Amino acid sequence: MSTETTTAPVQVRAVDVRKSFGNLEVLKGINLEVRRGEVVCLLGPSGSGKTTFLRLINQMETITAGRIHVDGELIGIEERDGKLYQRTDKDIARQRSSIGMVFQRFNLFPHKTALENVTEAPIVVKKTPRATAEARGRELLAQVGLADRADSFPSHLSGGQQQRVAIARALAMDPELMLFDEPTSALDPELVGEVLAVMKDLAAKGMTMIVVTHEIGFAREVADRVVFMDGGVVVEDGPANQVIDHPREERTKTFLGRVTH
């Protein structure tokens, strides 16, 4: 971890986070801190609760117990005079708008061009004037290497290009935090590198990122920290090269042995 990020303020703090679906307890007390500017890769076998955890941070699911703070604010609830209150829809929308999320499937609007996909939320949600949103949208498309594809429809773009549009679309809301959920898992192998390169560039620009991925090379190279989850708990959390190259826990060793061979 670089010295800037070890002293940076905590941007995401998860305290004993629990989530159940009916009788199934999926998250069993997650404790995690992510500092501003840090890149944390979240590894773990399928079903370990990684997606659920990201969805809780972004309030796409409601928490069963525990607390998540983002930028010092409690997510979803607020405390007044020692009592907890559900936040209003408007307040939740405000909190969510500072978090960008990129999914495994790019889910772009199929009937909108790349540029229209990127400008939709700023225009509709933030009421940004169209000309301003388009100028910024073109900048973001250039940032992800797609300056010349602004007018292309998703069906005319490769999976890697679509995913890069999805990243530009998330960035258009000027997020303080970016969540990535296996952003390259649905891509043909030859398209993975271009998406990881955009993410690496974003990390270098200082974006705070939580990245669920099976790309161990990316995690080793780009992540400040690697967190290994299994069975709804954090099994191991440490500097990327330590967790990947010298894991302490048996479960981490077994998992890494499987994904790297």
By the rule CB under 6 A, 214 interacts with ligand ADP:
no
**Smallest gap from residue 48 Cβ to Mg ion (A):** 8
Write b or e for each residue in 175-205: b if 16 or more Cβ atoms lie within 10 A of its Cβ, otherwise e.
bbbbbbbbbbeebeeebbebbbebbeebbee
Total chain residues near ligand ADP (CB under 6 A): 11
Q: Which of 17, 40, 49, 51 binds Mg ion (CB under 5 A)?
A: 51
Q: End-to-end CA distance of the chain, in Å?
A: 27
Per CB under 6 A, contacts with ligand ADP among 41-80 are 44, 46-52
By the rule CB under 5 A, 184 interacts with Mg ion:
no
**Smallest gap from residue 219 Cβ to ligand ADP (A):** 15
Rounded distance, CA 191 to CA 172, Å? Answer: 23
**Smallest gap from residue 168 Cβ to ligand ADP (A):** 24
By the rule CB under 6 A, 23 interacts with ligand ADP:
no
Which residues lie near Mg ion (CB under 5 A)? 51
Which residues lie near ligand ADP (CB under 6 A)? 21, 24, 26, 44, 46-52
